[in-house]
Structure 1
Amino acid sequence: MAGKLGKQVRLELVGEDTEVDKSVADELSDPLVHLVRNSLDHGLETAADRKQHGKGPEGYVRMSAQQEGNSIVIRVEDNGRGLQVEKIGEKAFEKGLVARAELEAMSPREVMNLIFLPGFSTADQVSD
């Protein structure tokens, strides 16, 4: 998928030996794939864009799992551009998810949380 998007990406897996019940792992599979795809689609820049911003051409997506007490903590992170608050707000407004006055009253964190609304995407087209 990264190649189709013109991006050079290294996938890092940390904590592969963390034990998870099979039924839990099955439930987590689709959401984790979705998070990695979001990093590729929205977070990581093309090699050319990364170079323009003083970054190396290759980005990374890191997925880690670790036991913390009775819980397992799973993180998916990348070294891309981060969330674009203005773009998120505009897309939410365009889709009728939030009124202009409501959007203008929101903190940056509240705007970022709009990404969790069902069906929300800033992509102009959906990737594979």
Structure 2
Amino acid sequence: MLTLADLEAARAAQQVQQHAPDWFVIWSLRHRRFEAWQCTDPNECRIVYANSATALWDLMQQVELDLLRNSPQGTTPPAPGAASRPDPPLPAPGHVLLALLPGCAARAPAPRPSPPEGNRP
């Protein structure tokens, strides 16, 4: 059952999503937690989850720092504060996230085909 708390959590997930375009972020109704999929590498999608948007954001930042440190380019990793984005703003009223990011489309289930012309209502 969808509650007001779920709607607020979905809005918070959307706020995080707006500040992290390389991630797909949702509020999971099934698990009642925030979930995020890192979508820059189609061969290895990193997944994090947390009970709050702030905790999720921190985990996402840690994954990105780990990726920078382990990058094959051989560059020196930035100082922890240098690679970080600013903290996301507090959730504000808005739309619930309904679409996937283009980079994550390969992980999404295929859409159902449209019924043939003669079978449409």
Q: Assess same fold via TM > 0.5.
A: no
Q: Which has the higher strand share?
A: 1
Calculate the TM-score normalised by the size of structure 1. Answer: 0.27
Q: Which has the higher helix share?
A: 1
Tell me the TM-score normalized by structure 2. 0.28
